Amino acid sequence: MARSKIQPGAVIDGYTIGDRVHIGGMATLWSASHPGIEVPLLMKVPRVSEGEDPAAIVSLEMEQMILPRLSGPHVPACFGVGDFTREAYVVIERIPGQTLYQRLPDLPLPCEEASMIAAKIAAALADLHRQNVIHHDIKPSSIMFRPSGEAVLIDFGLSHHNHLPDLLQEEFHLPFGTAPYTAPERLLGVRDDPRSDLFSLGVLLYFFTTGVRPFGETETMRGMRRRLWRDPHPPRKLKSDYPPWLQEVVLRCLEIEPVWRYPTASQLAFELAYPNQIKLTARSERTKRDPLSTVWRRRFNRGLTQPKPKSDVAAHLASSPIVAVALDTAQESASLNEALRVTAARILATLPSARLACVNVLKLGRITIDRTLDEEGQNKHVDRLVALKHWASPLKLDENRLTVHVLEAVDPAAAILDFVEVNHVDHIVIGARQNSLKRALLGSVSAKVASEAACTVTVVRPPRLASLHEPQRANGNPGELSA
């Protein structure tokens, strides 16, 4: 590769180079502009001087392959890449503001604020993993936030794409990354498990709520390998008032074995959005690390010291969806609710890692003042929560896989669609109503959900109507059913 020509004022492939913004360990960032592009730009150039780490070149190659394939609000838009035979670079959108690294002097943050930040990062990771990419360098300096609030992940030089060559894996034998945030399996050469990013996010959440990194600052391989068998001190040992629900989340993310962590980033984001429904286990109350007997068993368990079989990111995510069932708790809906339960049971039987969210909408009047109590003096909201749990009880789901939600809204369909979008629901099951004049004039909730939801929708009819109405394909996503 030729010597770099990057300097202020230079024009390369139509991009005018501005000021130098940042010098990192593997690359230098320059501001840039292009007559055909209105948004502010950054040009990232690898450090290739004498004595520089050769991984810098491979890292930029990975970014050149991965970034053009990514889309959405959680990644910077990519506008161009430069040929290594002339000038190697990648041009991306310049996100306004600073990285999360700037918050380090403020640590520890209030638990509510830190968990909100973590929820946004988890949502960004969920979107990234759906695009077959594992970031592998989640840390404060790799995270920014758009003015609209979404977390943006940057620096994809160490990432793994499920459908592209992994040049870092092929050319180097060391686990590149930031030592305090590196997942245990990364030390064994495993780069294709999306739960590695959840471990890193767990480290960040621990650090932001306690002010202490769970595994210290060590950079030596020997020190890093200890996390293959040694768990961190529980946050409640450091802060006696640490919320049990938050410790449950943090320690689950930091489990040594990936299988004990959250199955997906979507499920982690869902937990953080509803902390009052997190099912507490022994993790939540711990104040001591695992006993030495457990540590020694891990230390000499040869299974932990061998690389795991390759996983398929898409298959893993598909086996761990968030499934929502929209229910009407009225007595006259009993037959339909039974049909919904049968359908949900069939779906969950094939997806042992799926999470089920039972949703009911308490419809509010547009003009009238709504009463919180029914005719018998019972709280409507509480009654419906109880009814949802009663509906789900025959499914015999583990408590970690079930949540119930009563939404209060004027427009039930809009409330369900908003719940689906905010919580990254993968599949919604909803009941169809019988034909009526009101439905003909105003349209049904199920029809609106089926036509507008950005996920798979299954519309279920009561058994007595099944023979009269054959389900039809809805316009939109394949596999949806119309109401």
pLDDT at 19: 96
Closest CA to 159 of 250, 71, 65: 65
Indicate the range of 66-75, 134-143, 157-166 predicted with least confidence: 157-166
DSSP conformational letter for 307: P
In the chain, CATH 1.10.510.10 covers: 100-317
Distance, CA of 425 to CA of 259 (rounded, Å): 22
323 band by pLDDT with thresholds 50, 70 and 90: very high
Q: What is residue 4's predicted lDDT score, i.e. its pLDDT?
A: 59
| Strand-strand pairing, 427-431 and 456-460 | parallel
pLDDT surpasses 60 at 113: yes
Which position has the token pair 């990232």?
Answer: 44
For the cut 60, the answer to whether the pLDDT of residue 370 exceeds it is no
Q: Which CATH architecture has domain 100-317?
A: Orthogonal Bundle (1.10)
Region(s) of the chain under CATH 3.30.200.20 = 11-93
Q: What is the pLDDT averaged over residues 52-78? A: 90
Residue 314 has pLDDT above 80, yes or no: no
Q: 330-339 pLDDT, tens per residue?
A: 877 888 999 9
Residue 304, pLDDT score: 52
pLDDT at 3 over 60: no
Mean pLDDT of 187-200: 93
Candidate from 70-79, 82-91, 140-149 with smallest mean pLDDT: 82-91
Interval 366-386 mean pLDDT:
67
CA distance 366 to 110: 38
Residue 214, burial from CB neighbour count under 10 angstroms (0-12, 13-18, 19+): buried
Residue 178 pLDDT grade (very low, low, confident, very high; cuts 50, 70, 90) = confident
| 121-140 pLDDT, tens digit each | 999 999 999 999 999 999 99
Whole-number mean pLDDT of the chain?
Answer: 86
Q: What is the pLDDT of residues 22-63, one digit of tens each?
A: 988 788 999 999 998 999 999 999 887 655 567 788 889 999
Does residue 449 have a pLDDT over 60?
yes
349-365: pLDDT as tens digits: 998 889 999 999 988 86
Return the pLDDT at 373: 57
In 185-327, which ranges are E strands?
A: 322-326
Whether the pLDDT of residue 482 is over 50: the answer is: no
pLDDT in tens, 255-277: 999 999 999 999 999 999 999 99
pLDDT bin (cut points 50, 70, 90) of residue 245 is very high
Least confident of 28-42, 148-162, 440-454: 440-454
386: which 2 tokens?
């109880």
Which amino acid is located at 34 in the chain? H
Residue 87: is its pLDDT beyond 50?
A: yes
Q: How far is CA 345 from CA 126, 373, 414, in A?
A: 25, 32, 26
pLDDT at 38: 93
Which of 458, 470, 463, 449 shows the shortest CA–CA distance to 338? 463
Q: Read off the pTM.
A: 0.86
Task: State mean pLDDT over 180-192.
Answer: 91
**Which class in CATH covers the domain with range 11-93?**
alpha beta
pLDDT above 80 (res 309)? no
State the Cα–Cα distance between residues 434 and 441, nearest whole angstrom: 13
Start-end of CATH 3.40.50.620 domains in the chain: 321-466
Is 269 or 85 the better-scoring residue by pLDDT?
269
Whether 442 has a pLDDT exceeding 60, the answer reads: no
pLDDT, one tens digit per residue, over 412-432 is 999 999 999 999 999 999 998
At residue 476, does pLDDT exceed 50?
no
In the predicted model, what is the mean pLDDT of residues 4-13?
A: 86
pLDDT of residue 374: 53
One DSSP character per residue, 339-374 reads: HHHHHHHHHHHT-TT-EEEEEEEEEPPSSSPPPSB-
Superfamily of domain 321-466: HUPs (3.40.50.620)
